[in-house]
Amino acid sequence: MLNITSNSISHNINRSDYKSYQILNQRSTSKFVIKIMVVLLLIGILIMFLPWTQNIRSKGYVSSLNPYDKPQNIQALIGGKIQNWYVTEGDVVAIGDTIAILTEAKSEYLDPELLQNTKEQQDAKAKSANAYLEKGKYLKEQLIALSNNRDAKLRQLKIKQQQIELEINSAKLDLEAAEIYVENATNQLKRMETMYEKGIKSLTDLESKKLSIREAIAKKISVENKLRKFENEESNILQKVEGVNADYQQKVAKTESEIQSADSYRYTVLGEKSKLQSKFNQIKQRQSGFIITSPINGRITKVLKNGIGEFVKAQENIATIVPTNFQRSVELFVEPNDMPLIKEGKKVRLQFDGWPAMVFSGWPNNSFGTFGGEVFAIDNDISDNGKYRILVVEDGSDKSWPELIRIGSGARGLLLLNDVKIYYELWRQLNGFPPDFYTPEKNESIKRKAPIRKFK
């Protein structure tokens, strides 16, 4: 019984007669369970050779691709006091719809006729500028008149100079004749003296010849005086010509100075007119700025200023609006270790908050409630949360995203990578290795250009 001897007697014992042997012979596990375990083991081995899609899990939120599709604040262009509200939170508005109306709060703009008075001042400056312009025209006409007057005086002096030149030429001829006459009288007097000495002629004849020469000399002197007079008159005419030109230059310089002064005053007035025009435009723009309108088609989500009569500052937010129609995208954040595996155009499976989904990580195509997307852009700089941001847009070849998702709602993404066997994926996970790096096909790496929607 105790097997302390080599002579066994177990063959002499009928174990069926003893209940203890029957209990010991009963198995703790039935054959059926063993078969199930074997089958499960075989199935597990087969599963290890099934394909598995490597992926990168990430979280993010729904956003807008275009800047003007994002939620934005409606601001007051100028400071003022709220006079009336035309919307409430939750209202849907179109572009140009009135949100609120403000009234003036600054004392320098409280004049009800400020715009009209500014316009009248501008008109007065415009008339003053026109007056200076007309003055400049008259001064230019005066220059023309001065030029014509000078030319007329010069022509008169020219004619007088020509007359005096004729007189001078005539006096010169008379002087030549007088000199010849004096010479002849002198010769005659010499002959008369000779004849008188010889007794041929009388003393009376001699005295007559002396008188003749005196008359010839007197006539010569008279002609010389006349010639000097004409020469002096010619010199005076030349001085008058110089005086006329000098007087003309002086008057022209004075007139041109007045023209420059008139132009300077006119430009000064035009500058003041432009300042008044700028002030007029500012006042007009300020008055139109009291009407605050919606910049986009959207829904008023929050009113930041309450009540009537409350003061708001310039560029202060008064309400928040969210676009009703926008091009949706999803912002996902991935670890820096996974960034080298992400390329533009890579496929992504998305799950949105509020939509039931059954996700199979390794078989994304068999998941239920997920939606297709493509990587549109990748940030080059790391975000504040220590991860990289990627933008995912809707995949046109997959089913459309739900219409009811809103900006800011949560989203989870599976960025699809290489297809491997399950046993390899388990080995990679156990060793903490990153997913396999691979180069996607050309049709996957092409960056899709998202359409830019413009407001009209």
pLDDT in tens, 6-54: 666 666 666 666 666 666 665 555 567 778 888 888 887 787 776 666 6
159-184: average pLDDT: 83
pLDDT at 367 over 50: yes
Q: Does residue 402 contact residue 93 with C-beta atoms inside 8 Å?
A: no
What pLDDT, on the 0 to 100 scale, is given for residue 455?
38
Q: Which of 429, 441, 418, 348 is nearest to 51 (CA)?
A: 418
> Which is nearest to 149 in space by CA: 221, 232, 245?
245
d(CA 93, CA 72): 14
Residue 48 structure tokens: 């290890």
Contacts of 209 (CB under 8 A, 6+ apart): 185, 188, 189, 192
Report the distance separating Cα 454 and Cα 241, nearest Å.
79
Q: Which residue has the higher pLDDT, 21 or 367?
A: 21
Enter the tokens of residue 352.
Answer: 């949105």
**Rounded to whole angstroms, what are the CA distances from 29 to 33, 36, 220, 400, 418?**
7, 11, 178, 53, 43
Burial of 77 (0-12, 13-18, 19+ CB in 10 A): middle
CA distance 416 to 332: 14
pLDDT tens-digit readout, 101-151: 888 877 777 677 777 888 888 888 888 888 888 888 888 888 888 888 888
Q: What is the pLDDT of residues 380-432, one digit of tens each?
A: 888 888 888 989 998 888 888 888 887 788 888 877 666 666 676 677 767 76
Instruction: Identify the structural domains of the chain with CATH numbers, from first to last.
Output: 51-69+326-445 (2.40.30.170), 72-104+290-322 (2.40.50.100), 114-280 (1.10.287.2610)
Residue 332 to residues 70, 227, 364, 373, 392, Cα–Cα distance (Å): 16, 117, 18, 12, 8
Residue-wise burial string across 230-249, b where 16 or more C-beta atoms lie within 10 A, e elsewhere: beebbeebeebeeebeeebe
When mean pLDDT is compared across 227-236, 273-282, 358-367, the lowest value belongs to 358-367
**pLDDT attached to residue 297:** 86
Q: Confirm whether pTM is higher than 0.85.
A: no
Mean pLDDT throughout 317-329? 83
